[in-house]
């Protein structure tokens, strides 16, 4: 077993402080940009104080990953022996150059950068997570989508031997998700290979997962094996399970309630019983960047 010296690992509190500095710096630059877009100020990106990183232990122990069970602690308990090597991802469909890339090829071809994003779960909680990843559009450009490529369909691995949850018909396995091509090409949409400066833990969707920060968390597929460009809107596993509760777009929207609960506010994970709920913002605070994708659309109808 390869050993890593303690000195090589950045302690979490130093890591968190360092991120804070970078975040402040980054947001200072961002606010110059914001001041030029006063129209969208209501949907401004998450504020500095909202971006306190969620602790690593919460990000890696409180997960929804039904392939390993429906409980929040099932993923960490039941995914530790999950094999992420060898791992191939097929990128095909309406493209000029379909490709099959191993996870090693992906990490060398597309260098990772850090993205601190807010993750808003449809259940009404949120985390601030420092992901390591790269824009999905980099990989999509490599395969050259044709003019028929209107949507992107993501398929996760099907392996009931290793994934105990897939032995039960909880969802239509394998897990399927989809994005419109412009959403997939957006710079905020990333493929993720790590978090907190480390390799992505199995319970968080290793070796390759999607993150679309302005949509509810379930849109961000884990353990992806196929990225297919398609002409027709794909049906996601959740749409199939409950079309009344989960729509194709699933943009974070405080004005559109889930049939069973309000989406107007959320709880920040790990903040204890003293801290109050925080208001949920349109597009999870990324409205400046993404609101234009939905101009003229009735987001109550296309939820």
Partner 1 sequence: MKKYLKLSVFILSLLPFLLIVYKIFLDKLGPEPIKEITHFTGEWTLIFICLTLSMSPLKRFTNLTIWVSFRRMLGLFVFFYATLHLLTYVGLDYRFNWPPILDDVIKKKYIFIGFSAWLLLLPLAITSSKKMMLLLKNNWKKLHRLIYVIAIFGSLHYIWLSKTIFFKPLIYFIIIIILLALRIRIKNRNIKYG
Residues that bind partner 1 (CB under 8 A): 58, 61-62, 72, 125, 257, 260-262, 264-265, 267, 269-270, 272-273, 276-277
Q: How far is the CB of 152 from partner 1 (least distance, A)?
A: 28
Is 30 or 247 the residue whose CB approaches partner 1 more closely?
247
- Nearest-approach distance from CB 240 to partner 1, in angstroms: 15
CA distance 259 to 218: 17
Beta strands 99-102; 190-195: pairing state: unpaired
Instruction: Give the Cα separation of 69 and 279 in Å (integer).
Output: 30
- For the bound state, the minimum distance from the C-beta of residue 290 to partner 1, rounded and expressed in Å, comes to 26
Q: Shortest Cβ distance from residue 270 to partner 1 (Å)?
A: 5
Tell me whether residue 11 or residue 276 sits nearer to partner 1 (CB atom).
276
Tokens of residue 274, six digits = 């003293």
Q: Which is nearer to partner 1, 71 or 160 (CB)?
A: 71
Spatial distance between the Cα atoms of 9 and 198, rounded to a whole number of angstroms: 9
Which helix (H) or strand (E) element contains residue 154? strand 151-156
Minimum CB–partner distance for residue 265 and partner 1 (Å) = 7
Q: Is residue 145 classed as helix, strand or coil in its secondary structure?
A: strand
- In DSSP notation, 58-84 reads HHTTS---GGG-SSTTHHHHH-TT---
Looking at the Cβ atoms of 11 and 272, the one nearer to partner 1 is 272
The residue (of 197 and 270) whose beta carbon lies closer to partner 1 is 270
């Amino acid at each position: 077993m390869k050993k890593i010296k303690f000195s090589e690992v950045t302690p979490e509190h130093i890591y968190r402080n360092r991120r804070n500095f970078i975040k402040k710096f980054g947001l200072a630059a961002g606010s110059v940009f914001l001041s030029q877009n006063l129209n969208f100020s209501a949907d401004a990106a998450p504020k500095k104080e909202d971006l306190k990183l969620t602790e690593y232990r919460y990000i890696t122990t409180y997960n929804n990953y039904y392939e390993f069970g429906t409980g929040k602690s099932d993923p960490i308990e039941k995914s530790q022996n999950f094999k992420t090597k060898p791992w191939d991802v097929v990128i095909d469909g309406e493209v000029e150059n379909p490709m099959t890339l191993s996870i090693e090829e992906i990490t060398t071809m597309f260098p990772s950068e850090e993205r601190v994003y807010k993750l808003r779960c449809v259940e009404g909680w949120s985390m601030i997570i420092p992901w390591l990843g790269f824009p999905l559009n980099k990989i999509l450009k490599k395969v050259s989508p044709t003019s028929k490529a209107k949507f992107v369909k993501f398929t996760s691995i099907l392996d009931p031997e290793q994934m105990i949850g897939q032995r039960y018909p909880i969802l239509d396995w394998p897990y399927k998700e989809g994005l419109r091509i412009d959403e997939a090409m957006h710079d905020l949409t990333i493929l993720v290979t790590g978090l907190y400066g480390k390799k992505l833990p199995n319970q968080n969707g290793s070796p390759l997962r999607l993150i679309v920060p302005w949509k509810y968390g379930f849109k961000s597929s884990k353990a992806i094996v196929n990225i297919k460009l398609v002409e027709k809107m794909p049906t996601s596993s959740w749409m199939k399970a409950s079309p009344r509760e989960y729509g194709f777009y699933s943009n974070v929207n405080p004005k559109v309630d889930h049939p069973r609960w309000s989406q107007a506010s959320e709880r920040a994970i790990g903040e204890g019983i003293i801290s109050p709920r925080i208001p949920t913002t349109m597009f999870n605070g990324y409205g400046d960047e993404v609101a234009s994708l939905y101009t003229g659309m009735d987001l109550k109808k296309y939820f």
